[in-house]
Chains A and B, each alone.
Chain A
Amino acid sequence: MDQNNSLPPYAQGLASPQGAMTPGIPIFSPMMPYGTGLTPQPIQNTNSLSILEEQQRQQQQQQQQQQQQQTVAAAAASVQQSTSQQSTQGASGQTPQLFHSQTLTTAPLPGTTPLYPSPMTPMTPITPATPASESSGIVPQLQNIVSTVNLGCKLDLKTIALRARNAEYNPKRFAAVIMRIREPRTTALIFSSGKMVCTGAKSEEQSRLAARKYARVVQKLGFPAKFLDFKIQNMVGSCDVKFPIRLEGLVLTHQQFSSYEPELFPGLIYRMIKPRIVLLIFVSGKVVLTGAKVRAEIYEAFENIYPILKGFRKTT
């Protein structure tokens, strides 16, 4: 019984726990690849001669830029915020120039007239296109959808349990009727207040169809059931990244978001803040995502976690 009882009082360095602060979750924002017809601005250097050369090149590309200036200027403001948050390097590898080039063009060089009136560089094509950093290529599969609906009338659970084949009702154990249908394969909890919870569907549409079928069953049993306020409350998805993950390393670097207690549960519980999703990450590489209200949150959460997990791929 005493597994650890006789602890010798060895020297205790009162080391405070590791608080490796990561600056924040890399927010999935589209990168800035250069759109059609616009060539990227060359790298600025401190050499004034090369800047002169750059100016000449820019003069040549003037016409193209001015056409897009208006559209670009409008979008630039909104995009500048997102570029400043980017922490990943794009495949084009030229995004750092964006920041520098924007500040560069404001100061005209002596002897050259600034040909483009706008202080902002018009070279930046800001149309958010496909992300330059590769997406993972893995799509999480939805495994369970929980939804609620209000049938809008009081129900007599005893009657329902008596006259429906697929219902079970044990008031001493739980105060609701548990009803099941075969297609889509789901389970519903029907309460006497008229509210219903539907679980087990694999997609939002299936959940809605199943809830309607349950409402129809209740209708046929003689109650004036309606279909009010259908809402998806929770979505659960899962996927496999196909490589093992060092959970101990992950909990060290992402301590504020993760909780890993191997004595209690073999997986790591990662609470992502944006989007607000809880992920269960296992050593085999399987990931379970839950807590989403819409499908896009699950996809976004997985795209956020995938680069982090790749960082912990053990390469012997």
Chain B
Amino acid sequence: MPNGSRCPDCGSSELVEDSHYTQSQLVCSECGCVVTEGVLTTTFSDEGNLREVAYSRSTGENEQVSRSQQRDLRRVRDLCRILKLPQTFEDTAVSYYRKAYQLSGIRAARLQKKEVLVGCCVLITCRQHNWPLTMGTICALLYADLDVFSGTYMQIVKLLELDVPSLCLEDLVKSYCGSFKLFQASPSMPPKYVEDKDKMLSRTLLLVELANETWLVTGRHPLPIITAATFLAWQSLRPSDRLTCSLARFCKLANVDLPYPAASRLQELQAVLLQMASQLAWLQVLKLDKRSVVKHIGDLLQHRHILLRMAFRDGTEVVETEELQQQGQGQQEEVEDGALDLPKKKRPASPALLLPPCMLKPPKRTHPTPPVSVVTGDENISDSEIEQYLRTPQEVRDFQRAQAASQAAMSVPNPP
């Protein structure tokens, strides 16, 4: 149809819209030359039926960017889609990758490093938006080694001079706890193990906060602590039925990997709870151990601030003891009889030190102060001292003979 354009060959304005199979073409009716083909939109109504083409899928990008970079940019986007991240994250991650690729150190790096860089960019984007994503997840998705990942991550943060905030513990708890399959009954999950999600989340958050205050979180990988806290929270919500379940079985039921350090974190958390329980008036008489203390986690968490101050020494206050004793006696039934009536000022257990576990353990070996050596660096070096480091001629001959023998032995098994 004549719409102002002319055929470039013969100059005629008789252009007909003809389609070659499904591809629409504008053909000159005089000479048959194809003026345009595959036009994306022709009319406004047609546009409504078509989908927009993202720049990344069009051919425009491919000309400026090398093939490996294209592949990795596609990988970045795929990774973001697998993790169900918002669209803005995808664009940010892609921009970080592009920026990183301009550095000569990255452009010339091995393919393995470039693959890992894909994960680093996604991780940095998530961290900056406080989206809780652990390095373990990324490494598992990329089938990468954590050592390689950590090296590339530290390098790229330094080179691009990025400000990457720390992993947000609260969000990590929420997302990790939410992934435990405990909230619905199933053939493998007895109904007494099923738990309400909100109650478990809130209790786990309180336990993780408690662990943070008692130095169990600083310097350690956050995930095992959250596993241990989730387990304790789940147990404490229905202790009579769940005390028999072990940590390993719990993780298998919930379909979650059990991280190796979680067992020792569990021990540490139970020890802290026991210390706190020893300060509660109505629990002192019960002689709790680390299993039975689980039943009282609710009470302990309710009074955790005061109990922490009392149970752990750092500038002790006697005032709080009195305060809590009065509180305890007001709230609960009187458990103590005359024999167990504790005097006001006396605390049953001496308060432990609130320190990270690495400081509480006895040192593995004593560190003797090195003797102050008065060495000037210019002393005379005696010949005898140097002679002790040289082989005698006899030794040299023996050594050469031994070497020759071993060479011969190695070259003997020749294929016939």
Q: What is A's interface to B at a CB cutoff of 8 Å?
A: 1-10, 12-19, 141, 162-166, 181, 183-184, 202-209, 212-213, 216-217, 220-221, 244, 246-248, 251-252, 255-256, 259-267, 282-285, 314-316
Contacts and interface: CB of A to CB of B under 8 A. Distances in A.
Given A4-B176, A7-B83, A8-B178, 5 more contacts: A162-B396, A208-B378, A252-B166, A266-B219, A266-B220
A3 B258 CA distance: 10
B220 A262 contact: yes
Given A203-B375, A205-B375, A248-B218, A17 B359 contact: no
A244 B375 contact: no
B71 to A, nearest CB: 23
30 contacts: A2-B140, A3-B140, A3-B257, A4-B172, A5-B137, A6-B179, A8-B178, A12-B131, A14-B88, A17-B128, A17-B163, A17-B165, A18-B165, A162-B391, A163-B396, A164-B390, A164-B391, A165-B388, A206-B373, A206-B377, A209-B376, A213-B381, A221-B390, A251-B166, A259-B157, A263-B222, A264-B153, A314-B354, A315-B314, A316-B308
B133 interface: yes
Interface string B109-143: 00000000000000000011111111111001000
Interface string B141-170: 000001000100110010000011111000
Question: Which of A181, A206, A244, A282 has the most chain B CB atoms closer than 10 A to its own CB?
Answer: A244
A163 B391 CA distance: 5
Question: Which of A5, A183, A221 has the most chain B CB atoms closer than 10 A to its own CB?
Answer: A5
Interface string B326-365: 0000000000000000000000000000111011000000
Contacts of A266: 219-220
B79 to A, nearest CB: 12
Contact of A246 (B134, B137, B218, B358): B218
A159 to B, nearest CB: 10
Nearest to A18: B165
Given A3-B136, A17-B165, A315-B314, A213 B386 contact: yes
Q: What DSSP secondary structure best describes chain B's contact surface? A: loop
A83 to B, nearest CB: 32
A166 B256 CA distance: 53
B75 interface: no
Contacts of B257: 1, 3
A316 B137 contact: no
Given A3-B140, A4-B175, A165-B389, A282 B219 contact: yes
A203 B373 contact: yes
A247 B167 CA distance: 13
A184 B164 contact: no
A4 B179 CA distance: 7
A316 B359 contact: no
Nearest to A161: B399
B86 interface: yes
Question: Which of A3, A217, A252 has the most chain B CB atoms closer than 10 A to its own CB?
Answer: A3
Contacts of B52: none
A285 B359 contact: yes
A1 B355 contact: no
A205 B358 contact: no
A206 B356 contact: no
B280 to A, nearest CB: 18
Contacts of A204: 377
B166 A283 contact: no
A248 B179 contact: no
A131 B158 CA distance: 35
A261 B150 CA distance: 10
Contacts of A184: 373, 375
Contacts of B157: 259
A3 B137 contact: yes
A163 B390 contact: yes
Nearest to A209: B377
Contacts of B376: 205, 209
B56 interface: no
Contact of B128 (A3, A16, A256, A314): A16
Question: Which of A10, A207, A259, A261 has the most chain B CB atoms closer than 10 A to its own CB?
Answer: A261
Nearest to A285: B359
Contacts of A282: 219, 358
B179 A3 contact: yes
Contact of B354 (A17, A209, A260, A316): A316
Contacts of A314: 314, 354
